[in-house]
Each structure stands twice: as structure tokens, then as C-alpha cells.
Amino acid sequence: MRILFCTKKDVFGAWILNWVLPKLSQHHVKVFLSDKTRTEENSVQALTEEKYLERDLPLSALFTLIDSHSETGPLATFEGCRKRYQVEIDTITNVNDPDTEKLIRDWSPDIIVSARFSLIFKANIESIPPLGIFNIHPGALPGYAGLCAPLQGILHAEKKLGCTLHKVDGGIDTGAIYRVAYLESDPKQSVFAHIAPLYELGLTNLLELLADLAQGKTPQLKVQDKEGFRYFRLPDESAFVELDRMGVQAVSFDAYSEFIKQFVPASLASQLKLVLSPLEIQSSTQCVAELGIPDALEQFKKSLQQSCVNA
């Protein structure tokens, strides 16, 4: 099967590729990475800090350093994934423009899979794969459509958070559902700590869907209940104030530190142990509020370089 796998150019997108690519070795896979920044990510401080941790710090600093070495970590960077799994990876900003459409048509995928992709497929792309487009959405549909579903689920005091695998149609998160899987909500672990486990649930269901399709089975899909549909946009500052009132962290620096260290090769682990510690990551994130992302990122890069020099 020819699979166009679409994810986001951020630290969770890299995690997703590390999880799924070795399990798709019997298929022909091509990867698209979305590169998109929403206006709110530069105007709501909590979202700016999340963007820094999920994109700027790993992609512009840590991954660049790792890619300059021959060894890879337990988890590979995007460049590491390209080499480790011999897969073509392209970064795009518009999935529906004529050039991208031609690229997709020329490659002729049987199915397109979206997981954390951020870009919306229009009819010209939906018509290409004969098996359709399927999306892994980290929220239980139809009640948690839209953005930041794990955060919204925690804000609404859900005991379980869902991840939905559904077929893409003309709407946003409105397509018929293949399956919803659930994860116990544990607000003590932060919103950040729920995201990878939620995607793992959806990816596991994706493998079952692909196995059925490979055997010629027609997947059983359930049309969403329109009455129960809720769409959430990016949260504003008040959502994070409410999280704080509830005693919930958007990002646990302990969890983030452990997560990001999985990309570090053994040859760099001791050198980067301090700079990637929870305290140092927290300090770097605080610099975002004080100095802005460019200056905070430059300081972090210098810390990385100094750590390697002093080792």
C-alpha cells in the first residue's frame, strides 16, 4: 500500500514518526510535515511558550545539534527518521496548492493519513487517494473537535480523554468515525504528558484499519451525531488561568525533560544532561516571556554549544 503520512513539524510529530514508521515497513511511505504558526501563538503567552518548547527549542537548537553528529538517539530527529527509515520527507505550508497537488497525484497514494497535521485538505486533495483520507484527532468526537482537545477535556474535568480515528470529509473533524480509544485522565501529570499517549491510541487503531484495508475489507464507519458536535478554537489566556486554578500544569518540565532526552544520542547524553534538565528548560522558557523567542533561543543554543565544549 502507498501511504502519504502527514504530521506536524514539531517534537510530537517527530515522536509520531518514530512510533509509526517501523510499523509501516511493509508499505511504501512518503511523509509531509506541516509548518504553520497561528496568530494566537504569538499573542497568548502560554501558547507562545508551548510553541517554543514544541517547535523552536527542539527544531532550531537541539535537533540541529544532534543532526551534526553521526549517531542518533533512541528517537530520531526528522533528518534521523529520513535516514533510519529511508523515507522521503517534505515540509509544506499549503497542502492544496497546484504544486503540492501535482506532487501528491504523481506519487499516487492509496491512502492519506493525517496526525497532528494542522493543514486542512480541500476537495482537490480528498479526491486523490482511492481509500480516502483518515485523520487521527486527539479528542473524542463529536464532543471535542478542533484545537487543543486534550486541554479542553481536562478543563471540562473529563475522567477519560479520547483519540478518534475518522475519515476526512468536507468539514473539520466532522467525518465518519472508525474508532474512538480512551485514556485515563491524570491532571497531576500535566496536559503535555497526555499528548503522546493519546496519539499512540490513534496510531494503534490506524494499524488495525490498514490491516483491514490490505485484506480488502470495507471499514465500518459511524456517522457523527451532529447534535453532540462541539468545535474548540485555540484557548485564550483565561483557559490557562483556569488550568492554574485547577492545579494543572500545561507543561510539566520534568515530563518535558524526559521526553526530549529520548532524542539525544548516547555520545551526547552526559554533555547535555544539565542543559536539558527540568530546571534549565524552565529557565529557558521563562526567558521567552522576558526576552522573546529569538533571544531565548539564542541563549539556549549557546548553552548547548558550551555544554559540548566543556565536556
- Please report the pLDDT score of residue 70 as a whole number: 87
Superfamily of domain 2-36+45-310: Formyl transferase, N-terminal domain (3.40.50.170)
- 35-72 pLDDT, tens digit per residue, is 998 988 988 999 999 999 999 999 999 999 999 998 99
For the chain, give the percent of residues with pLDDT over 90: 94
Residue linked to cell 477519560? 160
Answer yes or no: is pLDDT of 309 > 80.
Answer: no
- 63-110 pLDDT, tens digit per residue, is 999 999 989 999 999 999 999 999 999 999 999 999 999 999 999 999
- Please report the pLDDT score of residue 62 as a whole number: 97
Answer yes or no: is pLDDT of 252 > 70.
Answer: yes
- Please report the pLDDT score of residue 173 as a whole number: 97
- d(CA 152, CA 141) in angstroms, rounded, equals 13
Q: Kindly provide the b/e burial profile for residues 17-34, where b requires at least 16 CB atoms within 10 angstroms of the residue's own CB.
A: bbbbbeebeeeebbbbbb
Answer yes or no: is pLDDT of 311 > 60.
Answer: no
Answer yes or no: is pLDDT of 310 > 70.
Answer: no
- Bridge partner list, 7: 33, 115
Q: Could you tell me the pLDDT band of residue 215, with boundaries at 50, 70 and 90?
A: very high
